[in-house]
Structure 1
Amino acid sequence: MKASIVRVLLLGACLFAGAVSPASAADPRGVGANSGTVGIVSGGVEGTYVRIAADLAAVLDDGDALRVLPMLGKGSVQNLKDIVLLKGIDIGIVQSDVLAYAKRERLLPNLDRRVKYITKLYNEEMHILAAPDVTRIEDLAGRKVNFDVQGSGTHMTASLVFDMLGIKVEPQDNDQSLALEKLRRGEIAAMAYVAGKPTRLFRDLKAGDGLHFLSIPMSAALLDTYLPSRLTSADYEGLIKPGEQVDTVAVGAVMAVYGWERDLERHRKVARFVDAFFGKFDEFLKPPRHPKWKEVNLAADLPGWTRFEPAEQWLHREASGRTAMREPQPATLVSSPVPRGETAR
């Protein structure tokens, strides 16, 4: 309930910023503030997405020139819809498999043209937290397993993974905080949660609580779509003993963006965001920023997606600049003779 109220308030603020009000039209300061505002829809209060969005705001905010407004979201499927349909949202953090899912389900028309990506962010691990009496994932057959709310990335991925494993469960649609309480009370057998490790939701759990993670057995079907990964005691020292690991799968997180036409102000605004984000990326690798930033490769390609043109151009300029620095310079550009065997710096 609290998260829903916060989301409504933040969404309202962003929608207000997305359109110039009559007062703003009469006040140049309001016009300037709106022209530099970028709305980013993230995830729930306990997830990694919202912390990534908060980092973006902390590092990139630059007065009226650029202001990042993070918003709580309801998962990858809904975030994708929000990017396409809501006026105040320019960017959203989603799972990499959501675009293929949306196309398959025909959720929105012309997605290839309307949704692009700025960069692949990091990998998110699938966590399956189970009750004490569940020892293997196969034991969940016929039992209640929380898949998160409808439209969330976890709900989408959990349904696909359990289907690929051939394990039929009774899916539940509770938000993650409520699901954890139900799991503690024994009302459900397990809960699935796709989030970058370590997720805050499970941070304070201890082995004495009786809850534990289940390993996901690898299969050819799973590895066609997802990456193999693992959870260790370094991620959850209260739940996993030193030297032990829990096998799982991971899916990529993506910074998705609406594919604005080049001559529109919204396109120019997001292009300024891209320049600031890429140009200051080293700042995201320092404390107190989320450790998941260290997994990001800005230039990584994302199969099935098209990169936002300003991001593609920035990466091309950066690559060209590095190539030029490595290439020998023409003698006519050297202001003073360089002794043989040495190079100009």
Structure 2
Amino acid sequence: MRAGLFTAFIAATWLGGQVQTSLAQTVSPNEAAKVSPRKESAPRKEAATSDPHTTGFVTGAAQSTEFAIAQDIATTLASGQETGPHGEVALRVLPMVGNGGIRNIIDILSLAGADMAIAPVLLADRLRSTGTLGDIGNKLVYITPLFVEEFHLLARSEIKSLSDLAGKRVNLGEEGSAGAVLGREVLNHLQVKVSESNLTLDSALDGMRKGQISGALLVSGKPVGFLARYAQGDGLHFLSIPYSREMLQHDYLPSTLRHEDYPDIIGDSDSVDTIAIKCALFAYNWPIRSERFPLLELFVQTLFSRFPEFLGDGHHPKWREVNLAALLPGWRRFRPAERWLQQQSGGEAALRKAFGRFLEQKSISNPPDREQLFQDFMRWRERQQGR
């Protein structure tokens, strides 16, 4: 078992370097095909046997919103479960810190304990189309699309615009992260030549405070709690990243950072235009007869049936962007997830049942209050499906 894990780690490390090199030069899916990166077989995957009740969830850096989402899932699903004679639960979700980029996808394909990961759809699409890791279309499936991840470009006070970063030291994040791969691409597209650093976010922000770094990029869903706390009082501010129609062809979306997202960084009536990308919850396509398949199936059933719980104020606001039934073009959905959605498409009765289970855990006992909450939930769901 140790030898297998060591082999998987070495393979992931080597392949990570190959993928980062090829995608770092990529500015669009079409141009990626022209690069003709070296093709390799998909990494080998061995099933973990140490704990049949724990599913591994690879996410972004510990400071990211994606990690907060994974923690939301882990803590929420841990409650309300029957326990065994020694306190064990049938399903345990274990968040695993990743870099939010290419490495997350490689981890799903190679690490024994990694069953699923939050990853940018754009990077997954490119890995599949270039064939850098072989045919991953049969090894990678999606559970559900999630939300958009915004580009957060922080700068020191003397940097007033994007053009002021030209020739300056700018941290794009660790190699292979969404910030490093896509930030490099965006800056090249905007013809802003910087001196690139690839530090952790903590190190980059510390370097900015000392004047060693002029800017730092993080690609993560807003609001990122760590940024709001760290930047307060340091004179840091967000730079606008202009959006063009050409970016839409490369799967970027327009977005805006507002005062309510970062009240200590953005003024009351101010906002900052930026761009964003979509992310999704991907999973390894375990064979039906494998021991990991029923565990991942249980995860899907539990997450989907308890989804209304994540829409409350106690959870990250990004949950309100999630539409479980949304499709991810070009990818296959994990079969139990598809089956659950088909079963629930029968209508409102199933939704009311799930919503009722959610409210039973709350202090809402007045029927009119329950009905009003359910109608608000239904209107929100209809808006999401209409997007």
| Map of 2:208 onto structure 1 | 183
Q: CA RMSD in A?
A: 2.2
SS of alignment partner, residue 168 of structure 1: coil
Distance 1:104 1:168, change over 3 A: farther
When normalised by structure 2's length, the TM-score is: 0.72
How far, CA to CA, are the matches of 1:136 and 1:173 in structure 2?
A: 21
Contact 1:164 1:221 in 2 (8 A): no
Shift of 1:244: 1.0
| Map of 1:271 onto structure 2 | 297
Which of 232, 239, 247 pairs up with 2:273?
247
Distance 1:305 1:142, change over 3 A: farther
Alignment map for 1:294-333 (pairs within 5 Å) = 294-322=320-348
Distance 1:207 1:260, change over 3 A: closer
Contact 2:147 2:279 in 1 (8 A): yes
| Map of 2:64 onto structure 1 | 47
* Alpha-carbon displacement from aligned partner over 1:221-249 (angstroms, at most 9, x marks no partner): 22221111100110111111111110001
Shift of 1:81: 0.4
**Do residues 199 (structure 1) and 199 (structure 2) align?**
no
Contact 2:128 2:137 in 1 (8 A): no
SS of alignment partner, residue 199 of structure 2: coil
How far, CA to CA, are the matches of 2:330 and 2:246 in structure 1?
A: 18
* Alpha-carbon displacement from aligned partner over 1:282-341 (angstroms, at most 9, x marks no partner): 11112422221111111111233221111111111111345999xxxxxxxxxxxxxxxx
Q: Which stretches of structure 1, 4 residues or more, deviate above 6 A after TM superposition?
A: none
Distance 1:205 1:85, change over 3 A: closer
| Map of 1:222 onto structure 2 | 247
How far, CA to CA, are the matches of 1:40 and 1:259 in structure 2?
A: 14
Shift of 1:107: 3.4
Highest CA radius of gyration, 1 or 2? 1
Distance 1:205 1:39, change over 3 A: closer
| Map of 1:261 onto structure 2 | 287
For 1:66, the aligned partner's letter is L
* Alpha-carbon displacement from aligned partner over 1:43-95 (angstroms, at most 9, x marks no partner): 21111111111111112123432111111112321110000001111011111
Deviates more, 1:302-311 or 1:244-253: 302-311
Distance 1:59 1:97, change over 3 A: same
Which of 112, 118, 130 pairs up with 2:155?
130
How far, CA to CA, are the matches of 1:162 and 1:101 in structure 2?
A: 19
| Map of 2:168 onto structure 1 | 143
Unaligned runs of 5+ in 2: 1-8, 10-46, 84-88, 352-387
Unaligned runs of 5+ in 1: 1-7, 9-17, 22-33, 326-345
| Map of 1:329 onto structure 2 | none
Alignment map for 1:6-155 (pairs within 5 Å) = 19-20=48-49, 34-61=51-78, 62=81, 63=83, 64-103=89-128, 106-155=131-180
Shift of 1:154: 1.7
| Map of 1:238 onto structure 2 | 264
SS of alignment partner, residue 38 of structure 1: strand
- What is the number of residues matched between the two proteins? 298
Shift of 1:187: 1.0
